[in-house]
């Protein structure tokens, strides 16, 4: 989250910007690109991928991690789908490799820009699942944005790279058409393009982001600098359904079928999972009558969730002490686990906005900031029935441009035990206890089991010292 910030309780009413789409994690939308070739037809020209409801994926887990140091901020997330373990392993390996390279290279050469990996589901029904990871790496070539798709088929129980959507025997014809559609477009360098298509491995590396649109067209996205000069931007080729149909592999045909007419469930042939633990049924404790102008109050806040099962365990700990807290949730996690958000609200806690996929908002355009926050607020409202009023900027990074992009009131913190850095339960607990003061806001993360495990000792000790645990909004309202 960055260095400790003070003056956390000064609310501000800010101007709402216009909803737009971010570069990363933009389902049901066309990736921003400098040049699009659609082949033919207005339907193919849309390039729109079908939105996938993550709550329909039984047993879905979102793997999150972050490093919030001011000189090396980063956040990563990817989905773990039961039955698609080899695909999950491939994503895990790539995420860890890329993060390690970023850190080893000096965290973007010390420019203090954040490294971020987020995801979108492309298909998740029938026997196929597809995921796009979007990486923002300030130390990478081009604009630092790279995308890659991962595929898995339950019928053959195999992971597939993007080129696996095309039958091997059809690849020469397919590659010839792709090259034809790219050559002659402004900014495309024929020498770069030729080298990028020079052999099987080069082809696999270049054609690593392929998906099927909702009308059955094949969409191919190229990162900046991979087929042309950097100024040319990102390129996209969209091949209409009739043109691409003869080239698809058996797996590719199944992907196309589910992209156009998705089935109701995802069946990867995995053994039936055990019934998941239900979200805790916490009865609402009623209105909080604590007067923070007369007693010692403290606001515990938890970022980056909800996480399963960590957040449910945390709710049980809080209930034991009648403690209220504020949860600043990441949108892609909230969309996957709306039942946990409902449990938070039913237990008397507050839910705030922590962006869709944890980027440094100060590095985004106004439209991108608005999209990050609006998408998350929409996920919160869908789960709880109410829109949030508070947001916490990832890494505590905020400026006038971010403030002007939303009406949400920003919340920073007073106490930061750096639990993202020190995965040590006792150290986290003792740091919070030692630094806690009246009316402070404490920063923790419910994605880390070690942080959740520190909460009982924090609650027990601070309660004995006369502290009352309230939400951020209650603290502000009663001072």
How much is the mean pLDDT over the chain?
A: 88
Predicted confidence at residue 140, as pLDDT, reads 72
- Please provide the DSSP assignment of 17-58 as one string: ------SSS-TTSPPP-SEEE--S-HHHHH-PPPP--GGGST
Query: Does position 186 have pLDDT exceeding 50, yes or no?
Result: yes
- Percent of the chain at pLDDT above 90? 76
Tokens standing for residue 104: 């080893």
| Mean pLDDT calculated for residue range 445-462 | 98
Which of 25-34, 83-92, 97-106, 465-474 shows the lowest per-residue confidence on average (mean pLDDT)? Answer: 25-34
The pLDDT, as a whole number, for residue 105 is 85
Q: How much is the pLDDT for 113?
A: 75
Task: For residues 76 and 135, give the distance between their C-alpha atoms in angstroms, rounded to a whole number.
Answer: 9
Output the pLDDT for position 170: 97
Among the options 114, 221, 303, 414, which is catalytic?
A: 303
Lowest-confidence segment of 3-17, 233-247, 361-375 by average pLDDT = 3-17
What pLDDT was estimated at residue 18?
A: 28
pLDDT tens-digit readout, 374-428? 999 999 999 999 999 999 999 999 999 999 999 999 999 999 999 999 999 999 9
- Residues 251-284: tens digit of each pLDDT: 999 999 999 999 888 989 766 555 555 555 545 5
pLDDT at 30 over 60: no
Give CA separation, 184 vs 39, 193, 226, 266, 333, in Å: 14, 11, 15, 41, 42
Domains in the chain with CATH codes: 35-260 (3.30.565.40), 296-478 (3.20.20.370)
Q: What percent of the chain has pLDDT over 70?
A: 86
The residue from 160, 354, 445, 468 that is catalytic is 445
State residue 361's pLDDT score. Answer: 97
What's the confidence (pLDDT) of residue 266? 92
What pLDDT is stored for residue 184 in this prediction?
A: 86
Residue 4: pLDDT band by 50, 70, 90 thresholds? very low
Across residues 432-450, what is the average pLDDT? Answer: 98
Instruction: Show the DSSP H helices in 399-471 as ranges.
Output: 400-403, 425-435, 449-464
Question: Does residue 215 have an active-site annotation?
Answer: no
Average pLDDT over residues 443-461: 98
Instruction: For residue 237, give the H/E element and its range.
Output: strand 235-239
The pLDDT tens digits of the residues spanning 60-93 come to 999 999 998 888 899 999 999 999 999 999 999 9
The stretch 351-368 carries a mean pLDDT of: 96
pLDDT tens, residue by residue, 301-322:
999 999 999 999 999 999 999 9
What tokens does 249 get?
């592999």
401 φ/ψ angles, rounded to the nearest 5 degrees: -65, -40
Strands 35-37 and 61-67: unpaired
- Report which of residues 247 and 287 the model is more confident about: 247
> Does the structure show a pLDDT above 60 at 472?
yes
Mean pLDDT of 221-246: 91
Whether 303 is catalytic: yes
Residue 19: predicted pLDDT: 28
- Stretch 236-261: mean pLDDT, rounded? 97
**The pLDDT of residue 13:** 29
């Amino acid at each position: 989250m960055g260095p400790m910030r003070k003056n956390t309780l000064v609310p501000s009413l800010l101007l709402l910007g216009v909803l737009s789409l971010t570069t990363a994690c933009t389902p049901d939308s066309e990736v921003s690109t400098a040049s699009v070739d659609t082949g033919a037809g207005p339907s193919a020209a849309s390039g729109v991928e079908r939105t996938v409801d993550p709550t329909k994926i039984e047993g879905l887990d979102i793997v999150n991690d972050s490093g919030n140091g001011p000189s090396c901020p980063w956040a990563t997330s990817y989905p773990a789908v039961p039955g698609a373990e080899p695909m999950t392993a491939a994503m895990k390996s790539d995420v860890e490799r890329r993060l390690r390279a970023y850190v080893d290279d000096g965290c973007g050469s010390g420019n203090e820009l954040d490294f971020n990996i987020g995801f979108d589901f492309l298909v998740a029904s029938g026997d196929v699942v597809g995921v796009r990871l979007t990486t923002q790496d300030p130390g990478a070539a081009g604009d630092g944005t790279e995308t890659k798709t991962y595929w898995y088929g339950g019928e053959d129980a195999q992971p597939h790279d993007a080129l696996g959507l095309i039958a091997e025997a059809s690849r020469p014809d397919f590659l010839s058409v792709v090259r034809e559609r790219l050559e002659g477009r402004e900014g495309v360098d024929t020498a770069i393009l030729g080298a990028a298509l020079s052999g099987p491995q080069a082809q696999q590396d270049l054609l690593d982001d392929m998906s099927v649109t909702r009308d059955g067209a094949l969409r191919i996205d190229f990162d900046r600098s991979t087929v042309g000069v950097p100024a040319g931007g990102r390129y996209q080729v969209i091949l209409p359904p009739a043109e691409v149909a003869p080239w698809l592999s058996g797996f590719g045909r199944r992907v196309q079928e589910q992209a156009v007419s998705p089935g109701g469930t995802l069946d990867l042939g995995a053994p039936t999972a055990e019934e998941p633990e239900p979200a805790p049924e916490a009865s609402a404790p009623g209105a909080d009558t604590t007067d923070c102008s007369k007693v010692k109050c403290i606001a515990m806040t938890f970022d980056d969730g909800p996480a399963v099962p960590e957040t449910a365990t945390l709710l049980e700990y809080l209930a034991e002490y009648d403690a209220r807290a504020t949860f600043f949730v990441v949108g892609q996690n909230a969309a996957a686990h709306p039942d946990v958000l409902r449990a938070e609200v039913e237990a008397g806690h507050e839910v705030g906005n922590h962006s869709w996929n944890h980027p440094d908002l100060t590095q985004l355009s106004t439209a991108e900031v608005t999209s990050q926050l609006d998408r998350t607020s929409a996920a919160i409202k869908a789960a709880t029935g109410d829109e949030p009023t508070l947001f916490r900027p990832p890494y505590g990074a905020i400026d006038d441009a971010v403030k002007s992009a939303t009406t949400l009131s920003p919340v920073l913190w007073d106490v930061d035990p750096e639990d993202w850095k020190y995965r040590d339960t006792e150290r986290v607990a003792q740091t919070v206890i030692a630094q806690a003061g009246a009316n402070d806001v404490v920063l923790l993360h419910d994605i880390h089991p070690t942080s959740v495990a520190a909460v009982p000792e924090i609650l027990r000790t601070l309660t004995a010292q006369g502290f009352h645990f309230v939400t951020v909004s209650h603290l502000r309202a009663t001072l």
